[in-house]
């Protein structure tokens, strides 16, 4: 994490508990409109984790950033939060829980909302199989599916899909945002399979790759995947399966990060303050 990101996180830590509003949503690394569930032994680097209704942290999980819940907060056995925890409702702790900063419940924390948008869809459908690759240009497409062993590359610009699915296996997605952003929108299903790879060009930042979906079905990041980017799913559960590494941010109707995963959170306000949608 660079100096700019560290300074932004410090400012966010001061602002969020007392002035929660939609303009601060991008300051969260993980946020859900209902439940955020961080499962056993998950490790999360500095960044704010939150929810409107409930946050749960699993056994022996370790979070190195603040937790902000507009509702309740539940900290399970032997979890560690090397920061502050704030809740609009009660904070419940099990045995040997460590919170190094302030722990305060029953605060006036306003709920956040995740903005939605209209996603146009096209009629060109694409399927890539083992050994096939494609450099996809920005545009509007139908259903896109990558099977195991396929690869696809993206450049700066806006992509719209009816659905985008990557099956389990060693499929690879390459991203070269240059100095801008790659915006990938889906109207329906968005899903990534086990052991997929997300490769950033050069010194690109994960927040330069922005996934958005209007899907109501689960948005899956499969087991043993290394994911680089931001997922926004206002109507769906974002589920990161076990042993994943996530570099970026996660926003959903609910967000679950399963056991033994690692999440390196990046403040997303640089994207929200850009001309990404222009």
pLDDT in tens, 123-132: 999 999 999 9
SS3 6: helix
pLDDT at 274: 52
Q: Are residues 1 and 109 in the same domain?
A: yes
Count of all residues that appear for the chain in the document = 278
pLDDT in tens, 15-74: 444 444 434 788 899 999 999 999 999 999 989 999 999 999 999 999 999 999 999 999
Closest CA to 164 of 227, 219, 240, 113: 219
Domain holding 58, by residue range, is: 1-116+237-272
Integer Cα distance of 178 and 161 in angstroms? 22
Q: Please check whether residue 162 lies inside any domain of the structure.
A: yes
- Whether the full predicted model's pTM is greater than 0.85, yes or no, is yes
Q: Are residues 109 and 20 in the same domain?
A: yes
Q: Are residues 9 and 112 in the same domain?
A: yes
Q: Please check whether residue 218 lies inside any domain of the structure.
A: no
Q: Please check whether residue 59 lies inside any domain of the structure.
A: yes
Q: Are residues 163 and 81 in the same domain?
A: no
> Considering its fold, how many domains does the chain have in total?
2
Integer Cα distance of 76 and 58 in angstroms? 5
Report yes or no: 66 and 86 within 8 Å, Cβ to Cβ. yes
Integer Cα distance of 261 and 244 in angstroms? 5
From the CB of residue 229, how many other CB atoms can be counted at a distance below 10 Å?
25
pLDDT at 20: 42
Q: Are residues 179 and 104 in the same domain?
A: no
Q: Mean pLDDT of all residues in the chain?
A: 91
Kindly report the backbone phi and psi dihedral angles of residue 85, in degrees, each rounded to the nearest multiple of 5, phi listed first: -130, 130
Interval 261-268 mean pLDDT:
90
Q: Are residues 170 and 242 in the same domain?
A: no
Identify any residues that bridge with 28 across adjacent strands, giving them in sequence order: 48
Q: Please check whether residue 229 lies inside any domain of the structure.
A: no
Q: Are residues 87 and 142 in the same domain?
A: no
pLDDT at 24: 73
C-alpha R_g of the chain: 18
């Amino acid at each position: 994490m660079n100096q700019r990101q560290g300074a932004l996180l410090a400012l966010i830590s001061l602002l969020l508990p007392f002035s929660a509003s939609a303009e601060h949503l991008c300051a969260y690394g993980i946020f859900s409109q209902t439940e955020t569930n961080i499962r056993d032994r998950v490790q999360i680097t500095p960044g704010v984790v939150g929810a409107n209704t409930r946050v749960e942290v699993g056994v022996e999980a370790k979070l190195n950033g603040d937790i902000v819940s507009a509702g309740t907060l539940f900290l399970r056995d032997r979890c560690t939060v090397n920061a502050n925890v704030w809740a609009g409702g009660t904070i419940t702790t099990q045995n040997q829980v460590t919170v190094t900063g302030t722990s305060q419940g029953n605060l006036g924390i306003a709920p956040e909302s995740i903005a939605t948008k209209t996603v146009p869809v096209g009629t060109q459908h694409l399927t890539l199989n083992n050994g096939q690759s494609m450099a996809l240009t920005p545009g509007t497409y139908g259903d896109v599916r990558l099977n195991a062993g396929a690869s696809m590359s993206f450049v700066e610009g806006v992509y719209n899909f009816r659905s985008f699915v990557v099956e389990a296996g060693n499929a690879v997605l390459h991203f070269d945002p240059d100095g801008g952003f790659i915006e990938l929108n889906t109207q329906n299903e968005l899903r990534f399979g086990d052991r997929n790879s997300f490769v950033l060009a050069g010194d690109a930042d994960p927040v330069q790759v922005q996934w958005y979906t209007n899907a109501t079905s689960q948005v899956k990041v499969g087991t043993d995947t290394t994911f680089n980017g931001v997922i926004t799913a206002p109507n769906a559960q974002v589920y990161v399966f076990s042993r994943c590494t996530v570099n970026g941010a996660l926003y959903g109707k609910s967000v679950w990060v399963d056991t033994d995963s690692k999440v390196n959170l990046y403040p997303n306000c640089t994207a929200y303050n850009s001309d990404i949608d222009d």
